[in-house]
């Protein structure tokens, strides 16, 4: 089962992908997490991506396509995977079509105002990538998963959020039409709780919760 999660920044792609990973035992491939860990470790990929990621711009297609192709060819992807954050442009989607058969594209729908509220309260664990929201954790500073100190992602600063939303609408929204035409798109309103949103996805996938 190869699944793509589409959705603007703040729509909860990472959270939903992690729940799908657990339920179906297929790996979550988050290109954002992949890039951030490469940046932290100073790899070649990290060096190429750093300035783009920190500014909320897209990393060049050829760079990310190469990285994703390599990742999905690993043995743990044999029985499927969830792509979270890829593809983000038509060129990426076309490149993916050449090497993979996608079964479902889940499109998370959230308006910009709500995206902004969600992103600006986001706190992340730099160690295990767990994500939290200040509306739930209050002023807790440590990751409940691994104990590391939570941080605000550099591209979650208010000045960068609007740029990311703009780029999303320009570059990624056309993918909705691309996958709708192929009959693969499932749209899910995600302005509810995490549990409700996940339940909607499960029922749209046609499996029992
Ligand atoms: P969000 O969906 O919240 O914006 P992500 O963690 O998915 O955040 O991505 C963070 C950043 O990583 C993006 O703003 C971009 O710079 C880079 N990135 C991730 N995936 C891609 C991709 N498929 N193509 C180009 N850049 C990407
Ligand atoms: Zn952690």
Whether 40 maps to a domain, the answer reads: yes
Residues 61-113 pLDDT 10s: 999 999 999 999 999 999 999 999 999 999 999 999 999 999 999 999 999 99
* Ligand 1 lining (C-beta closer than 6 Å): 9, 13, 31-32, 35, 52-53, 56-59, 64, 85-88, 92, 155, 164
In this prediction, residue 157 carries a pLDDT of 87
62, 89 in Cβ contact below 8 A?
A: no
Q: What is the CATH number of the domain that holds 77?
A: 3.40.50.300
Q: What is the C-alpha separation between 201 and 21, in angstroms, rounded?
A: 13
Closest ligand 1 atom, CA of 55?
16
Strand (E) or helix (H) holding 67: helix 61-72
CA distance 61 to 44: 16
194 by Cβ neighbours in 10 Å (0-12 / 13-18 / 19+) ranks as: middle
In a domain, 47, yes or no: yes
Determine, yes or no, domain membership for 140. Answer: no
Q: How many domains does the chain have?
A: 1
For ligand 1, atom 6, name the residue with the nearest CA: 32
Range of the domain at 37: 2-110+169-205
In ligand 1, the atom with minimum distance to the C-alpha of 86 is 23
pLDDT at 208: 54
In a domain, 123, yes or no: no
| Whether pLDDT at 209 is above 70 | no
Q: Tell me, yes or no, whether 115 lies in a domain.
A: no
Q: Which atom of ligand 1 is the closest one to the Cα of 34?
A: 19
| Domain-located, residue 121 | no
Contact partners, residue 24, CB within 8 Å, separation at least 6? 1, 80
Give the pLDDT confidence of 110-165 residue by residue, as tens digits.
Answer: 999 999 999 999 999 999 988 899 999 999 999 999 999 999 988 898 889 999 99
Query: What is the end-to-end Cα distance of the chain in Å, rounded?
Result: 17
Full-model pTM? 0.91
The CA distance from 189 to 204, in Å, is: 12
Q: Which residue do the tokens 């104990």 mark?
A: 147
Cα distance between residue 7 and residue 82, in whole Å = 14
Q: What does the pLDDT read at residue 159?
A: 83
- 194 located within any domain: yes
Quick check: is 12 in a domain? Answer: yes
Rounded to whole angstroms, how far apart are CA atoms 188 and 198?
Answer: 10
Tell me the C-alpha to C-alpha distance, in Å, between residue 52 and each of 31, 154, 162: 13, 11, 15
Whether residue 87 is preceded by a cis peptide bond, meaning omega within 30 degrees of 0, is yes
Q: Which residues are catalytic?
A: 13, 88, 122, 153, 164
């Amino acid at each position: 089962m190869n699944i793509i999660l589409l959705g603007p920044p703040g729509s909860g792609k990472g959270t939903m992908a992690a729940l799908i990973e657990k339920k179906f035992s297929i790996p979550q491939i988050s290109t954002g997490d992949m890039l951030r860990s490469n940046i932290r470790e100073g790899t070649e990929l990290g060096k190429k991506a750093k300035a783009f990621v920190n500014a909320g711009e897209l990393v060049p297609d050829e760079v990310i396509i190469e990285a994703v192709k390599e990742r999905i060819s690993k043995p743990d992807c044999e029985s499927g995977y969830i792509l979270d954050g890829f593809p983000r442009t038509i060129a990426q989607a076309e490149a993916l079509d050449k090497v993979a058969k996608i079964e479902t594209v889940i499109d998370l729908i959230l308006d910009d105002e709500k995206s902004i509220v969600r992103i600006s309260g986001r706190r992340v664990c730099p160690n295990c990538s767990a994500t939290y929201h200040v509306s739930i954790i209050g002023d807790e500073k440590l990751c409940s998963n691994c104990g590391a100190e939570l941080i605000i992602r550099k591209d979650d600063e208010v000045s960068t959020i609007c740029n990311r939303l703009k780029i999303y609408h320009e570059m990624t929204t056309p993918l909705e039409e691309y996958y709708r035409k192929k009959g693969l798109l499932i749209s899910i309103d995600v302005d509810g709780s995490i549990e409700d949103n996940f339940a909607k996805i499960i029922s749209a996938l046609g499996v029992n919760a």
